[in-house]
Amino acid sequence: MSESKAFSIEALAERLGGSLVGDGSVSVSGVASLIDAGPTDLSFYADRRYRRQLASTKAGALVAREPLPGLTIPQIVHPDPFLALASLLDLFHPSASRSPGVHERAWVAPSARLAPDVTVLPFAYVGEEVEVGARTVIHPGVFLGRGVSVGEDSVLWPNVVIRENCRIGKRVVIHPGAVLGADGFGFARRGGKFVKIRHVGIVVIEDDVEIGANAAIDRGTLGRTLIRRGVKIDNLVHIAHNVEVGEDSAMAAQVGISGSTVIGKRVIMGGQVGLVDHLTVGDEAVLIAQSGVIGDVPGGATLSGFPARPHREVLKTVAELRGLDRLKDRLRQLEKEVRALRELAGIADGEESNEP
Amino acid sequence: MSESKAFSIEALAERLGGSLVGDGSVSVSGVASLIDAGPTDLSFYADRRYRRQLASTKAGALVAREPLPGLTIPQIVHPDPFLALASLLDLFHPSASRSPGVHERAWVAPSARLAPDVTVLPFAYVGEEVEVGARTVIHPGVFLGRGVSVGEDSVLWPNVVIRENCRIGKRVVIHPGAVLGADGFGFARRGGKFVKIRHVGIVVIEDDVEIGANAAIDRGTLGRTLIRRGVKIDNLVHIAHNVEVGEDSAMAAQVGISGSTVIGKRVIMGGQVGLVDHLTVGDEAVLIAQSGVIGDVPGGATLSGFPARPHREVLKTVAELRGLDRLKDRLRQLEKEVRALRELAGIADGEESNEP
Amino acid sequence: MSESKAFSIEALAERLGGSLVGDGSVSVSGVASLIDAGPTDLSFYADRRYRRQLASTKAGALVAREPLPGLTIPQIVHPDPFLALASLLDLFHPSASRSPGVHERAWVAPSARLAPDVTVLPFAYVGEEVEVGARTVIHPGVFLGRGVSVGEDSVLWPNVVIRENCRIGKRVVIHPGAVLGADGFGFARRGGKFVKIRHVGIVVIEDDVEIGANAAIDRGTLGRTLIRRGVKIDNLVHIAHNVEVGEDSAMAAQVGISGSTVIGKRVIMGGQVGLVDHLTVGDEAVLIAQSGVIGDVPGGATLSGFPARPHREVLKTVAELRGLDRLKDRLRQLEKEVRALRELAGIADGEESNEP
């Protein structure tokens, strides 16, 4: 998969804003992991867990956080190797050029408005009054319901479904199979049976959001479900009706957020976290994987467990539980000693129970 | 999105069976949340958490459970505002009328039997011997395998997959990407390797069921997986082969139910609940979000945690764990006092350990 | 659904390698559960939980692990009834024969190479330079990106998405809606905002793997995400970038595995298990349903809970927590006794607290 481009390490160090250690004239034409890299590949080292792979790598050059002593290959030292990697991958693997246009096997409603250079691939369905911004790519099997709008430079991967009237921003990436704008799970009850509450709200996705494969974001009952700028959502995440997620928050796979809960900015959620409805989570809170959150979360807090509590407390509890055995031993020892003392003092067993 | 219809509050109060407080001649033409509502919108108030939004709403009128003092706008007082909301949304947002028929870009097998007024949209696939009832809508990307039947007035949203021979009732709503009738996860073993057990059963969905986006309901190994009348299933729920779910039960997003488990009537499950296989859950049980159920559940019980226990016990345990510190302090204090008493009594430390 | 084939019990016993009890001349033409079976069906009994159904079955014959006394119908005794069932279902329900070929409503790129007897159904999209092996079936709505390869005798059910360059082995079954090769959830950060790391790796699925409905397996950042021979993956499972899963491992529905974690051979995971990134799980480990694994797992271990610990310990802790009440009672009793002793010894309350 490597491209035909080649760069000198010196040129790359300058482009990345890193400093060069070793022979800058070495040329590389690809990026690869420590294991897979060959002499014409640049690799990267950012985590001590990969020390063994570092020792045996055949890479031609390396990006690292600090100069690595004892290496003969040239190094680019960069304070954030992941950021350097992001730039390198953009450089070596630019987006494939494609010829835009609407494929004859796609279906586009007459009233849809497509900006120039939009790509619509076979079996995509673009409904009435849909608007699509410039350079956006709509893959096979995508469904855009009536009145949907999608901003420019977005990518809708295959089989993404966006129901009527939802609004998607610019530079948004939606991975295959994600569903936006399905009815929320809201029912009234009449005599023990559920009565459907029609969901007439929408979903609004702001710019620079990424949404994972087979994720589901429901439309508002009234009003909207709102995902703000820069939010990153992993695979199989569920976001219920009328939820609001603040800028630059991220949630790992299989997170579930119940109706009307409001998430702040730069909140981080590990995988499989669940939140009940109508909560507020403050800015920069961290919810450890699998947390079950049933109350409001203050900004900056780190929670875990079910019901979610401060993570430090949870770890302490786990340690204490392991200490329960010792606690019981101590209790047993005390009981023995007190029995002995009572015998010495001439108090018969059970005597006190007869007293008031 | 508001329609052009307008109604007086007096007329609406009568239609909903509510009582009128204030000026019944005020006219409204839409329903909106407290925040979004303007002077021509009716809004609703059912939860004290929205008190602040109530104070600043610009709504023209309100539905509420009890008369709200100090409000100048007219109110419709209704014992169940959610039920009233459901009716109002049906009234203000009726289903879009569509012209039924089979789109030329759909594929319908010659042996399929479609009732009058069925809608089949582009890129839907209707297999051999499929039967579809009157007025049912089949969106783009839907797959109906050989011999599937779907009752009247149902809606299959885009990219729903229903494999061969499964039977879907009347007024069933299946949200985008849901998969019904995939093979169950059942394997025999021969010499450490898995041997596939062919799944020849089906899925039966009774009337008035709703199934969420990207949910998965597997076919029976033999026999059937059965979802009874009125059951409501949220997004990303997994239901394994040969499970049976009783009438009017509901499960929130990301619930997982393992093979052959039988759920009673009017059971409620919070999000991310998991149940192991071959269990029985009694009528009207409540499983709190994230419960991990590994044993039968009696009717009416409320369970939480892993392994799931009565919720009251779980809350008590959590409180006790927080009290463990104090318990240790008391133990330490006792040890100190007993040591002093032993010294008084002239007993040396460790003496007893030499005795039988 | 029963086929017209009929077999004598004697012939079936011989074919399965089981022993015959009763009248071997009885003939059956189908396989059904104890409840559904009629006089011309063979049923099977492998689990004592089905005793009641056994008592009332109308089956014409039975497969069982041991001879069942008191039954008048003939029995095939087989040491592994599930394995026998797998063979019987293959016999009575062979795969439907289909006429291979590319449907005129599918879209296949000119540069794609399809082996003989491949089936491509309407609305499937087969991209440039894709290779598909003999007899493989590609259902409606499937997307195969540029350069994908799929081995022979595989089945891709409807709406499966496989992105560019991923490699799928022989005899692989991928259930509807599964997504392979979406970008991993990997971002660098610059000034509090996420910067996308382009994912240029692939997914490799070896032979005889099965992948559940709406599952998601992300491509490697660099290198590959690797699912080895014989692995079985249930519905709605998430597998992140650069994960590796060893031969013959199985994971139940809704499991989530974070980036770069390496799973050994014959590992079993219950439903909703979660693992954080960069872990190693040893061969034949068992992770109980809902476990939250945050550290390496030694081979052969059985873990549960969050954070996951040896299952035996978890059960002990649960028992101890139930005993906390009694522990407190004992402590209270001791305090009372010590107070009495101190009074006897003439020590005033709180006296010691003044001493060093």
Residue numbers in A near C104 (CB within 8 A):
none
pLDDT at res. B127: 97
Q: Which residues pair with B193 in a beta bridge?
A: B190
Residue numbers in A near B90 (CB within 8 A):
198
Contact across the interface for C276 and A289, Cβ inside 8 Å: yes
Mean pLDDT in residue range A349-353: 50
Q: Is the pLDDT of residue C3 over 70?
A: no
Residue A347 has, within 13 A of its CA and on its CB side, a CA count of 22
Mean pLDDT in residue range B293-314: 95
Same domain (yes/no): A331, A268: no
Q: Is the pLDDT of residue B102 over 80?
A: yes
How many Cβ contacts (< 8 angstroms) between chains A and C?
191
Same domain (yes/no): C227, C318: no
Reported as a pLDDT band with limits 50, 70 and 90, residue C355 is very low
Does the CB of B340 have a partner CB in chain A at under 8 Å? no
Domain boundary pick from B64, B92, B120: B92
* CATH number, residue A145: 2.160.10.10
**Three-state SS letters, chain A:** CCCCCCEEHHHHHHHHCCEEECCCCCEECEECCCCCCCCCEEEEECCHHHHHHHHHCCCCEEEECCCCCCCCCCEEECCCHHHHHHHHHHHHCCCCCCCCEECCCCEECCCCEECCCCEECCCCEECCCCEECCCCEECCCCEECCCCEECCCCEECCCCEECCCCEECCCCEECCCCEEEECCCCEEEECCEEEECCCCCEEEECCCCEECCCCEEECCCCCEEEECCCCEECCCCEECCCCEECCCCEECCCCEECCCCEECCCCEECCCCEECCCCEECCCCEECCCCEECCCECCCCEEECCCCEEHHHHHHHHHHHHCHHHHHHHHHHHHHHHHHHHHHCCCCCCHHHHCC
Mean pLDDT in residue range B147-167: 98
Same domain (yes/no): C134, C112: yes
At B10-21, the pLDDT tens digits run: 999 999 999 999
| Closest by Cβ to A235, choosing from C196, C216, C306 | C216
pLDDT at res. A142: 98
Residue numbers in C near B222 (CB within 8 A):
31-33, 36
What are the residue numbers of the active site of B?
241
Contact across the interface for C200 and A80, Cβ inside 8 Å: no
Mean pLDDT in residue range A220-224: 94
Question: Mean pLDDT across chain C, nearest whole number?
Answer: 92
Taking the CA of residue A116 and the nearest CA in chain C, the distance in Å comes to: 24
Q: Is the pLDDT of residue C350 over 60?
A: no
At B231-285, the pLDDT tens digits run: 999 999 999 999 999 999 999 999 999 999 999 999 999 999 999 999 999 999 9
Tell which wins on pLDDT, A209 or B313: A209
Same domain (yes/no): C181, C255: yes
pLDDT at res. A74: 95
* Integer CA distances (angstroms), B219 to B162, C38, C162, C270, C288, in order: 10, 21, 24, 20, 24
At C38-56, the pLDDT tens digits run: 999 999 998 888 888 998 9
Q: Give the chain A residue nearest C108 (alpha carbons).
A: A122
Q: Is the pLDDT of residue A2 over 60?
A: no
| Closest by Cβ to B223, choosing from C36, C157, C318 | C36
Does the CB of A214 have a partner CB in chain C at under 8 Å? yes
Question: Mean pLDDT across chain A, nearest whole number?
Answer: 92
At A144-189, the pLDDT tens digits run: 999 999 999 999 999 999 999 999 999 999 999 999 999 999 999 9
Same domain (yes/no): C204, C346: no
Residue numbers in B near A254 (CB within 8 A):
254
Mean pLDDT in residue range A80-102: 88
Mean pLDDT in residue range B83-105: 89
What are the structure tokens assigned to B205, written together?
């969905």
pLDDT at res. A315: 86
| Closest by Cβ to A341, choosing from B141, B254, B342 | B342
- Number of independent structural domains in chain B: 3
**Among A302, A306, A298, which Cα is nearest to A268's?**
A302
Does the CB of C335 have a partner CB in chain B at under 8 Å? yes
Mean pLDDT in residue range A134-149: 98
With a pLDDT cut of 70, the percent of chain C lying above it is: 96
Which of A321-325, B256-260, C242-246, C284-288 has the least mean pLDDT?
Answer: A321-325
* CATH number, residue C13: 3.40.1390.10
Query: Which is catalytic among the residues A103, A139, A241, A278?
Result: A241
**CA-CA distance, B231 to B266, in Å (whole number)?**
8
Same domain (yes/no): A75, A106: no
Q: Is the pLDDT of residue A209 over 50?
A: yes
Q: Which chains touch C (3 or more CB pairs under 8 A)?
A: A, B
Does the CB of A327 have a partner CB in chain B at under 8 Å? yes
Q: Give the chain C residue nearest B166 (alpha carbons).
A: C1
Which residue matches tokens 């299952």?
C311
Q: Is the pLDDT of residue A131 over 80?
A: yes
Tell which wins on pLDDT, C108 or B116: C108
- C241 is annotated as an active-site residue: yes
Sheet strand arrangement including A107-108: A107-108, A125-126, A143-144, A161-162, A179-182, A216-218, A238-239, A256-257, A274-275, A292-293
Rg (CA), chain A: 29
Using CB atoms and an 8 Å cut-off, which of residues 238-297 of chain A contact chain B?
Answer: 238, 240, 254, 256, 258, 272, 274, 276, 278, 290, 292, 294
Q: Is the pLDDT of residue A354 over 60?
A: no
Domain boundary pick from B92, B117, B142: B92
Same domain (yes/no): A160, A210: yes
pLDDT at res. C337: 87
Q: Which chains touch B (3 or more CB pairs under 8 A)?
A: A, C
What are the structure tokens assigned to B217, written together?
């309901």
Amino acid at A327: L
- Mind giving me the DSSP string for C169-189? -TT-EE-TT-EEEEPPS-EEE
Which of B40-54, B197-211, B316-330, C266-280 has the least mean pLDDT?
Answer: B316-330
Domain membership of residue C2 (yes or no) is no
Does the CB of C141 have a partner CB in chain B at under 8 Å? yes
Q: Is the pLDDT of residue C95 over 90?
A: no
Q: Is the pLDDT of residue B1 over 80?
A: no
**CA-CA distance, C240 to A340, in Å (whole number)?**
62
**Among A258, A235, A242, A259, which Cα is nearest to A250's?**
A235
**CA-CA distance, A37 to A27, in Å (whole number)?**
14
Domain limits for position A340: 327-354
Same domain (yes/no): C134, C201: yes
Q: Answer for the pair B233, C230: CB distance below 8 angstroms, yes or no.
A: no
Taking the CA of residue B269 and the nearest CA in chain A, the distance in Å comes to: 12
With a pLDDT cut of 70, the percent of chain B lying above it is: 96
Same domain (yes/no): C205, C320: no
Mean pLDDT in residue range B33-52: 91
Question: Mean pLDDT across chain B, nearest whole number?
Answer: 92
Q: Say whether pTM exceeds 0.80.
A: yes
Enclosing H/E stretch for B132: strand B131-132
Q: Report phi then psi at C93, rounded to 5.
A: -125, 65
At A69-88, the pLDDT tens digits run: 888 899 999 999 999 999 99
CB environment B127-152: b (16+ within 10 A), e (fewer): bebbbbbebbbbbbbbbbbebbbbbb
Same domain (yes/no): A107, A249: yes
Q: Give the chain A residue nearest C185 (alpha carbons).
A: A234
pLDDT at res. C330: 86
Q: Which residues contact C349 (CB under 8 A, 6 or more apart)?
A: C339, C342
Q: Is the pLDDT of residue A355 over 50?
A: no
* Residue to substitute from A194, A214, A258, interface B, most B β-carbons within 10 A: A194
Residue numbers in A near B355 (CB within 8 A):
none
Which residue matches tokens 């209704």?
B78
Mean pLDDT in residue range A236-256: 98
ipTM above 0.90, yes or no: yes
Does the CB of A29 have a partner CB in chain C at under 8 Å? no
Same domain (yes/no): A112, A20: no
Does the CB of B86 have a partner CB in chain C at under 8 Å? no
pLDDT at res. A353: 43
Does the CB of B337 have a partner CB in chain C at under 8 Å? yes
Q: Is the pLDDT of residue B319 over 90?
A: no
Running DSSP on this structure, what letter comes out for residue C22? Answer: S
pLDDT at res. B224: 96
Residue numbers in A near B92 (CB within 8 A):
200
Residue numbers in C near A327 (CB within 8 A):
327
pLDDT at res. A4: 60
Q: Is the pLDDT of residue B352 over 80?
A: no
**Three-state SS letters, B61-110:** EEEECCCCCCCCCCEEECCCHHHHHHHHHHHHCCCCCCCCEECCCCEECC
Query: Which is catalytic among the residues C139, C175, C241, C311?
Result: C241
**Among A255, A249, A263, which Cα is nearest to A236's?**
A255
Same domain (yes/no): A162, A44: no
Taking the CA of residue B57 and the nearest CA in chain A, the distance in Å comes to: 14
Does the CB of B331 have a partner CB in chain C at under 8 Å? yes
What are the structure tokens assigned to B14, written together?
């009568």
pLDDT at res. B73: 94
Residue numbers in C near B190 (CB within 8 A):
80, 83
Domain membership of residue B2 (yes or no) is no
**CA-CA distance, B48 to B33, in Å (whole number)?**
14
**Among C163, C185, C202, which Cα is nearest to C240's?**
C185
- Would you tell me the crossing angle of helices B9-16 and B81-92 to the nearest 10 degrees? 120
At C168-195, the pLDDT tens digits run: 999 999 999 999 999 999 999 998 899 9
**CA-CA distance, A148 to A156, in Å (whole number)?**
13
Domain boundary pick from C92, C125, C156: C92
| Closest by Cβ to B175, choosing from A182, A197, A198 | A182
- Would you tell me the crossing angle of helices C81-92 and C9-16 to the nearest 10 degrees? 120
| Closest by Cβ to A192, choosing from B266, B334, B342 | B266
Mean pLDDT in residue range A244-269: 98
Beta strands in C137-212 (DSSP E): 137-138, 143-144, 149-150, 155-156, 161-162, 167-168, 173-174, 179-182, 187-190, 193-196, 202-205, 210-211
Q: How many CB atoms sit inside 10 A of residue B326's CB? A: 9
Taking the CA of residue A61 and the nearest CA in chain B, the distance in Å comes to: 43
pLDDT at res. C356: 39
SS3 C210: strand
Q: Is A302 exposed, middle or buried (0-12, 13-18, 19+ CB in 10 A)?
A: middle
* Residue to substitute from C45, C102, C119, C123, interface B, most B β-carbons within 10 A: C123
